[in-house]
Amino acid sequence: MATRSDQVPFLFRPVRGGRLLKHLLLIGFGLIMLYPLLWMISSSVKPEDIIFREPGLWPSTVTLDNYSEGWTALKHSFGYYLWNSAVITGLSVLANLIACSLAAYAFARLNFPLKKMWFAIMLGTIMLPYHVTVVPQYIVFANLDWINTIWPLVVPKFLATDAFFIFLMVQFIRTLPRELDEAAAIDGAGYWRVFLQVILPLCMPALATTGIFTFIWTWNDFFSQNLYLTNSDNLTVAVALRQFLDSSGESSWGPMFAMSIVSLGPIFGFFLAGQKYLIRGVATTGLK
């Protein structure tokens, strides 16, 4: 059944009666689920005064005023906050890719004393609530004068503190045949060459999953960005949106919806581009 109709886009394939009902139900349910999102998108292009008079999706008047108004509503233009978020997110992705793959290679391939104990500790830190360490961390970062800099958000990532990704990559590296390492070792490659030239290139799927999830989590992160970035000159998108909410009160929802859409854009982009890795990552490790 699947092979015959593979060439035709699935919406246009002939469907049997009972199945048709099922598809209608599934599509209807999907629409209800996505309705809030679609409504936000359509509201962002409606003039302010009709947003709440029209629960429908199709705007009777289309305007981009909300976007231009929202873009400049705060102290800096919204592009400024997007850039701040991009810097923190980019560095976090880089940090997780480097630090977690290094640790994962050691756990998956090398032998060293007390390896089992360290591995168990690493697994334990995955479940550890962030809040248990945040108070002393804040005190230390305050003493280092790091409040209102990006360092509290980025430096820990270079120290492989997102242990979930170590676990993800360990699981992945364990599925790679050991003969590859051994062949390279016989050819005279040291541990670094094995890691850089054999393991890492084969790890691309796991690295992609790590990168995409780090991107989405860091972009969405509100707790720590709200904690460490309080100066109006270095806000990220998440914190800026919150300021927007505070300053505009209950009045200007159009511009806020517009900027909310803008803030979700990169996540949506990564979702479209990296679906395969996202789904596989969730299915194999239970990531969010």
Partner 1 sequence: MSESISVTPERPPAAPPAGVQPSGRRRRATPVNIHRRREARAAYVFLAPWFIGLFLVTVGPMLASLYLSFTDYSLLEEARWIGWDNYEKMFFEDTRFIQSLKVTTIYVVVSVPLQLIFALALALALDRGLRGLSFYRSIYYLPSLLGGSVAIAILWRKIFGTDGLVNSVLGFFGIEGTGWVSDPETALGTLILLHVWTFGAPMVIFLAGLRQIPQSYYEAAAVDGASKIRQFWSITMPLLTPIIFFNLVLEVIKSFQSFTQSFIVSGGTGGPVDSTLFYTLYLYLKGFKSYEMGYAAAMAWVLLLIIAGLTGVNFLASKYWVFYGDSK
* Binding to partner 1, residues 227-266 (CB under 8 A): 227, 237-238, 241-242, 245-246, 250, 253, 256-257, 260-261, 263-264
CB of 63 to partner 1, least distance (A): 19
Render the burial of 12-47: b for 16+ CB within 10 Å, e for the rest: eeeeeeeeeeeeeeeeeeeeeeeeeeebbbbbbbbe
Question: Which residues inside 133-172 make contact with partner 1, applying CB under 8 A?
Answer: 133-140, 142, 156, 158-161, 166
Is residue 284 a contact point for partner 1 (CB under 8 A)?
yes
Is residue 5 a contact point for partner 1 (CB under 8 A)?
yes
Q: Cα(37)–Cα(150) distance, rounded to whole angstroms?
A: 31
CB of 39 to partner 1, least distance (A): 6
Give whole-number Cα distances, 178 to 103, 111, 113, 201, in Å.
Answer: 18, 14, 21, 15
With CB under 8 A as the contact rule, which of the stretches 70-78, 84-92, 121-129, 201-209 interacts with partner 1? 121-129
CB of 55 to partner 1, least distance (A): 4
Residue 231 phi, psi (nearest 5): -75, 135
The angle that helices 204-220 and 78-109 make with each other, rounded to 10 degrees, is 140
Of residues 3, 4, 7, 11, which one binds partner 1 by CB under 8 A?
11
Is residue 60 a contact point for partner 1 (CB under 8 A)?
no
Is residue 287 a contact point for partner 1 (CB under 8 A)?
yes
Q: What element of type H or E holds 42?
A: helix 17-44
